């Protein structure tokens, strides 16, 4: 029947596939990248003294059937890192005198010695009938440029597997060649690179993801092709951290663009009290406003939550998006509560 869709229900995956060709936006949307820069830049790996393990779950566009859900776990650590004069919260607290010293106890200048960073990210994203899984290994190298300025460069390499579950699709025309077989799969190599320039209070990161743009597409058992090509994505982020009494303010910005899609800009503000509790807000142009909250329970455990209030046309059918993150600091000998170098 004219005007009817080929797929009726739970067909958001086809919309995603179409966007691969039109907008080119393939990477999942995150609001908690402010607490885990590794998801947008491999150069962050190994930036702290401890092993950082984080897991995040995001449910996007509540109320829309087949809306994206994303789950990932990341881990990264340093090799050979030794910050000169680095001191942990407990050790420095005993020596602190005055309000300014207490606030700055974990964010004072430290000279970073050249060192390596290693890590990994495992991610699963489900959008309707389309499931995207990826595994990437990460390597970075950090060097001091001056007594206060440091630079790291990183690379992430792995594989991305896209699968389209045709067995659950309900079609108007059951003989459609795109729906033959139970599963349509695509496996691709993945490559990302990035740099991170940072001091104790300023950071600037530039990165690019999905740099291997092979020509293969989804293939059905009948050799029917569905476009699903990976396209490059680019990120530029920067921010500044300063203190007012017991409060730490971190305004930042993120610019992101897919090579064949529109650009987007996030304007962020994060405010932390006494290195324990923080709140934040983020404005994503033509998309959403995010409200964030986090708590550093101790030097091992922390968690964060964010709620995205949709401001685009999607707001008529969506009740927003939720994202939860749990972080664990392993081998945190200095008992650092919040990251010393990032966010």
116: domain CATH number is 2.40.160.40
Task: Examine residue 90 and state whether it is found in any structural domain, yes or no.
Answer: no
Strands 288-296 and 277-284: antiparallel
| Distance of alpha carbon 21 from alpha carbon 17, whole angstroms | 7
Mean pLDDT for the chain overall: 79
- What does the DSSP assignment read for 65-129? TT--EEEEEEEEEEES--EET---HHHHHTT--SHHHHHTTTTS--EEPPEEEEEEEEEEEEETT
If we measure between CA atoms, which residue out of 151, 89, 72 comes closest to residue 114? 151
Q: What is the pLDDT of residue 101?
A: 41
Task: Examine residue 273 and state whether it is found in any structural domain, yes or no.
Answer: yes
Task: Examine residue 263 and state whether it is found in any structural domain, yes or no.
Answer: yes
What does the pLDDT average to over 215-229? 51
Contact 49, 337 (CB under 8 A): no
| Distance of alpha carbon 65 from alpha carbon 55, whole angstroms | 24
Q: What is the pLDDT of residue 5?
A: 38
Considering Cα of 17, then 228, then 20, then 254, what sign does the dihedral take?
A: positive
Q: Which residue has the higher pLDDT, 234 or 108?
A: 234
Q: What is the pLDDT of residue 109?
A: 45
Residue whose entry in the numeric block shows the structure tokens 């910050």:
83
Contact 136, 158 (CB under 8 A): yes
Q: What residues make up the domain containing 120? A: 27-81+112-218+227-330
What does the pLDDT average to over 8-34? 53
Contact 307, 294 (CB under 8 A): no
If we measure between CA atoms, which residue out of 181, 125, 164, 171 comes closest to residue 13? 164
Q: Which residue has the higher pLDDT, 341 or 12?
A: 341
Contact 74, 37 (CB under 8 A): no
CA dihedral 289, 265, 29, 280 (to 10 degrees): -40
Task: Examine residue 18 and state whether it is found in any structural domain, yes or no.
Answer: no
Q: What is the pLDDT of residue 84?
A: 59
Task: Examine residue 14 and state whether it is found in any structural domain, yes or no.
Answer: no
Residue whose entry in the numeric block shows the structure tokens 């702290």:
48
Q: Which residue has the higher pLDDT, 110 or 223?
A: 110
Task: Examine residue 267 and state whether it is found in any structural domain, yes or no.
Answer: yes
- Distances in Å between the Cα of 335 and the Cα atoms of 38, 65, 137, 170 are 21, 44, 27, 54
Q: Which residue has the higher pLDDT, 31 or 220?
A: 31
If we measure between CA atoms, which residue out of 187, 186, 189, 188 comes closest to residue 218? 186
Task: Examine residue 311 and state whether it is found in any structural domain, yes or no.
Answer: yes
Q: What is the pLDDT of residue 93?
A: 40
SS3 167: helix
CA dihedral 157, 161, 162, 168 (to 10 degrees): -150
Q: Is the pLDDT of residue 16 over 70?
A: no
Task: Examine residue 22 and state whether it is found in any structural domain, yes or no.
Answer: no
If we measure between CA atoms, which residue out of 243, 206, 251 comes closest to residue 34? 251
242 token code pair? 């300063």
Burial bucket for residue 307 (CB in 10 Å: 0-12, 13-18, 19+): middle
Specify the range with the lowest mean pLDDT, choosing from 1-15, 161-175, 241-255: 1-15
pLDDT in tens, 32-45: 898 999 999 999 99
- How many Cα atoms occupy the beta-carbon half-sphere of 152 within 13 Å? 34
Q: What is the pLDDT of residue 251?
A: 96
Give the global pTM: 0.79
Q: Which residues pair with 284 in a beta bridge?
A: 266, 288
Q: Is the pLDDT of residue 115 over 50?
A: yes
If we measure between CA atoms, which residue out of 339, 49, 27, 83 comes closest to residue 203? 339
Share of the chain above pLDDT 70, in %: 71
What does the pLDDT average to over 79-96? 56
Q: Is the pLDDT of residue 204 over 70?
A: yes
Residue whose entry in the numeric block shows the structure tokens 């008529």:
316
Number of domains in the chain: 1
């Amino acid at each position: 029947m004219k005007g009817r869709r080929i797929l009726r229900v739970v067909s958001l995956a086809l919309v995603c596939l179409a966007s691969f060709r039109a907008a080119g936006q393939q990477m999942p949307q995150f609001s908690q990248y402010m607490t885990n820069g590794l998801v947008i830049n491999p150069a962050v790996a190994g930036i702290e003294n401890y092993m950082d393990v984080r897991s995040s779950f995001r449910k996007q566009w509540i109320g829309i059937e087949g809306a994206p859900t994303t789950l990932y776990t990341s881990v990264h650590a340093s090799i050979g890192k030794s910050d000169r004069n680095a001191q942990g919260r407990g050790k420095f607290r005993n020596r602190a005198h005055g309000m300014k010293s207490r606030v700055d106890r974990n964010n004072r200048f430290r000279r970073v010695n050249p060192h390596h960073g290693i890590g990994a990210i495992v991610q699963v994203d489900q959008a309707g009938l389309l499931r995207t899984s990826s595994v990437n290994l990460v390597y970075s190298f950090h060097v001091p440029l001056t007594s206060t300025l440091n630079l790291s460069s990183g690379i992430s390499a792995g594989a991305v597997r896209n699968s389209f579950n045709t067995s659950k699709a309900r079609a108007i025309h059951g003989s459609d060649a795109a729906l033959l077989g139970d599963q349509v799969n695509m496996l691709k190599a993945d490559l990302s690179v990035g740099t991170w320039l940072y001091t104790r209070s300023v950071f600037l990161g530039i990165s690019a993801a999905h740099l291997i743009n092979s020509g293969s597409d989804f293939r059905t058992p009948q050799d029917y092709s569905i476009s699903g090509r990976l396209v490059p994505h680019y990120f530029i982020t920067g921010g500044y951290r300063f203190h007012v009494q017991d409060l730490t303010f971190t305004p930042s910005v993120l610019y992101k663009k897919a090579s064949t899609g529109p650009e987007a800009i996030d304007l962020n503000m994060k405010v932390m009290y006494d290195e324990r509790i923080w709140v934040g807000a983020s404005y994503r142009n033509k998309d959403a406003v995010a409200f964030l909250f986090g708590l550093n329970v101790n030097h091992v455990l922390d968690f964060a939550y964010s709620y995205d209030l949709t401001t685009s046309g999607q707001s008529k059918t969506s009740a927003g998006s939720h994202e939860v993150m749990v972080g664990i600091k392993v081998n945190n000998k200095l008992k650092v509560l919040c990251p010393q170098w990032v966010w």
